[in-house]
C-alpha cells in the first residue's frame, strides 16, 4: 500500500496531533520523520489531554505501530517521561514503539548550548524552544553527533565524554555546574531506551510496505518553519515539508500517495519572526483566549492573527497537498467580522509573492472581510448543518486556493470532526 504524509501548513500548532489520532485507525504504522521535543502534539481523548513532544501521535491507538524515524533528534529523558505517561494509562508501548538507530541523541549539553546561543543573539534571538534541537542538528551536519545505535556500542561512554568536553568549551560555569545532575537522569533514560526495539527504520518500513501495510508519515512544526523555505532565520533546524518524509524515513518518493495538509482557520505563531497578519489588538487577544493559544512545548502565549491565504498557497505548493484539513473553525464563532489576507501589496499597490516579504520593506496585507456566525458549530455532525456564514467562509477559502477542503475540525475531541469531501 502507498505511504501517506501529513504536514502542517503554517508555523506549527495546527492541530496535527488530533488529525493523526483520527486517521490512525486506517494505518498500521505512524512514523515521525523530523524534529524532536520542540514539537507539541496535543490529543484530547474523552476529556483527557495528552501532549507528546517526541512520540508519534498514533500511540494512543493500541493496534498502531509507531516509529521514531532517522530524521529525528531524540531527548532520552523526554522519551522516558512520555512512555511512563502511556504506561500509567495502561497503553501498551513495548513492541509497538520502534526507534531508528540513525536518529540522533540530544545530550544535556545540547540544551545548555541552545540557551547560550540564544543569549548571545541579544535582540536578534529567534525564540528557540531551548530543547537542544539546533545544536543537535548542528553536530549531525558536522558529523560529530551521537546516534541512537551508538548506545549499543562498548565505546558509547567514551564517545559521549568526548562530545561533552567539546560542548563545555562554550558553556559558562553556572551551566556546567548543572551538568552532573542532568547527566545522571540522561544516562538512566539511555538505559531505559535500550529496552526498546532499535531498528533500521528504512528496512522496516520497506518491508511493511511490501506487506501492504498502510503507513502514515507524521511531520512536526509547520511548513513556514522549514529550514530552507520558512521565514529564515526564524525557523526550526530541520526540513518540515512533505518531501522530508522520504529522507527522514528512507522512503522513496514513488511510494507517496496522499499528502494531508493541516491549517487553522486563523493563524498563530510562537517566538520571533515576521507575521504579516498578526493582530496586536483586541482581536489577537480574543483569538488567544478562545483558542487557548499557549504553546504546548514552551507554555508561551502564541501570537494570533487572521488567516493568510498567500502563505497558505505557498505552503500547499511546496508540499503538493491533495487533502486539505482546516482546524479550530469553532474559535471564529461570535466574532463581528472575519478578515482573510488575499494578497501582499507594495508601496506602488503592486501585488507581491510570499517570499518577497523578506526582501522588500513595507509590504502590507490586503484583506477580504467576511461575516462570522453565531451558531455553535462544535457539536454539528454533518456539513449540511453548518450556518450559511460558515459555508460562505469555506467557499471563499476554497475558491481562493482552487482546492476543496477534505476535513474540518470544530473542537479538540475526536467526535468534533466533519468529513467534507
395 has catalytic annotation: no
13, 114, 226, 330: the active-site residue = 13
Q: Cis link prior to 233 (omega < 30° from 0)?
A: yes
CA–CA separation, 162 vs 109, rounded Å? 12
Q: Taking a C-beta distance cutoff of 8 angstroms, is the pair 306, 367 a contact?
A: yes
**Which of 415, 306, 417, 412 minimizes the C-alpha distance to 41?**
412
CA–CA separation, 215 vs 209, rounded Å? 7
Residue carrying the nine cell digits 522512503: 251
Q: Is 123 exposed, middle or buried (0-12, 13-18, 19+ CB in 10 A)?
A: exposed
CA–CA separation, 249 vs 220, rounded Å? 14
13 has catalytic annotation: yes
Backbone angles phi, psi at 43, to 5 degrees: -120, 135
* Element holding 369 (H helix, E strand): strand 364-371
4, 21, 41, 308: the active-site residue = 41
3-state percent breakdown (helix, strand, coil) of the chain, nearest 5: 35, 25, 40
Three-state DSSP class for 335? coil
Backbone angles phi, psi at 273, to 5 degrees: 115, 165
Q: Taking a C-beta distance cutoff of 8 angstroms, is the pair 267, 10 a contact?
A: yes
CB atoms within 10 A of CB 66: 23
**Which of 406, 399, 402 minimizes the C-alpha distance to 383?**
406
Active-site positions read: 13, 41
Amino acid at each position: 500500500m502507498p505511504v501517506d504524509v501529513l504536514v502542517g501548513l503554517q508555523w506549527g500548532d495546527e492541530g496535527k496531533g488530533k488529525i493523526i489520532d483520527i486517521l490512525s485507525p486506517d494505518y498500521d504504522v505512524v512514523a515521525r520523520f523530523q524534529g524532536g521535543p520542540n514539537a507539541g502534539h496535543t490529543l484530547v481523548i474523552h476529556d483527557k489531554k495528552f501532549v507528546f513532544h517526541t512520540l508519534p501521535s498514533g500511540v494512543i491507538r493500541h493496534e498502531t505501530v509507531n516509529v521514531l524515524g532517522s530524521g529525528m533528534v531524540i531527548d532520552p529523558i523526554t522519551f522516558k517521561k512520555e512512555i511512563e505517561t502511556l504506561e500509567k494509562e495502561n497503553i501498551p508501548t513495548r513492541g509497538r514503539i520502534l526507534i531508528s538507530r540513525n536518529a540522533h541523541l540530544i545530550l544535556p549539553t545540547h540544551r545548555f548550548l541552545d540557551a547560550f546561543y540564544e543569549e548571545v543573539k541579544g535582540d536578534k534571538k529567534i525564540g528557540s524552544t531551548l530543547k537542544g534541537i539546533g545544536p543537535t542538528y548542528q553536530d549531525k551536519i558536522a558529523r560529530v553527533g551521537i546516534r541512537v545505535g551508538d548506545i549499543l556500542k562498548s565505546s558509547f561512554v567514551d564517545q559521549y565524554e568526548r562530545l561533552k568536553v567539546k560542548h563545555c568549551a562554550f558553556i559558562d560555569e553556572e551551566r556546567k555546574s548543572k551538568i552532573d545532575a542532568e547527566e545522571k537522569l540522561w544516562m538512566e533514560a539511555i538505559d531505559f531506551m535500550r529496552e526498546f526495539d532499535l531498528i533500521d527504520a528504512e528496512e522496516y518500513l520497506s518491508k511493511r510496505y511490501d506487506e501492504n501495510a498502510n503507513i502514515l508519515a507524521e511531520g512536526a512544526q509547520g511548513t513556514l518553519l522549514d529550514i530552507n523555505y520558512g521565514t529564515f532565520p526564524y525557523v526550526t533546524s530541520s526540513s518540515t515539508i512533505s518531501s522530508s518524509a522520504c529522507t527522514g524515513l528512507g522512503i522513496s518518493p514513488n511510494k507517496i500517495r496522499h499528502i494531508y495538509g493541516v491549517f487553522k482557520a486563523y493563524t498563530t505563531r510562537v517566538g520571533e519572526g515576521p507575521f504579516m497578519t498578526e493582530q496586536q489588538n483586541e482581536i489577537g487577544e480574543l483569538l488567544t483566549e478562545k483558542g487557548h493559544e499557549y504553546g504546548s512545548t514552551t507554555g508561551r502565549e502564541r501570537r494570533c492573527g487572521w488567516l493568510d491565504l498567500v502563505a497558505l498557497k505557498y505552503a500547499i505548493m511546496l508540499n503538493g497537498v491533495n487533502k486539505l484539513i482546516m482546524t479550530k473553525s469553532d474559535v471564529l464563532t461570535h466574532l463581528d467580522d472575519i478578515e482573510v489576507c488575499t494578497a501582499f501589496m507594495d508601496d506602488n499597490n503592486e501585488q507581491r509573492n510570499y517570499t518577497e516579504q523578506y526582501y522588500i520593506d513595507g509590504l502590507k496585507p490586503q484583506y477580504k472581510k467576511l461575516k462570522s456566525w453565531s451558531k455553535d458549530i462544535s457539536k454539528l455532525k454533518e456539513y449540511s448543518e453548518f450556518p450559511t456564514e460558515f459555508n460562505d467562509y469555506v467557499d471563499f477559502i476554497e475558491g481562493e486556493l482552487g482546492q476543496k477542503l477534505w476535513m474540518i475540525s470544530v473542537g479538540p475531541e475526536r467526535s468534533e470532526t466533519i468529513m467534507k469531501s
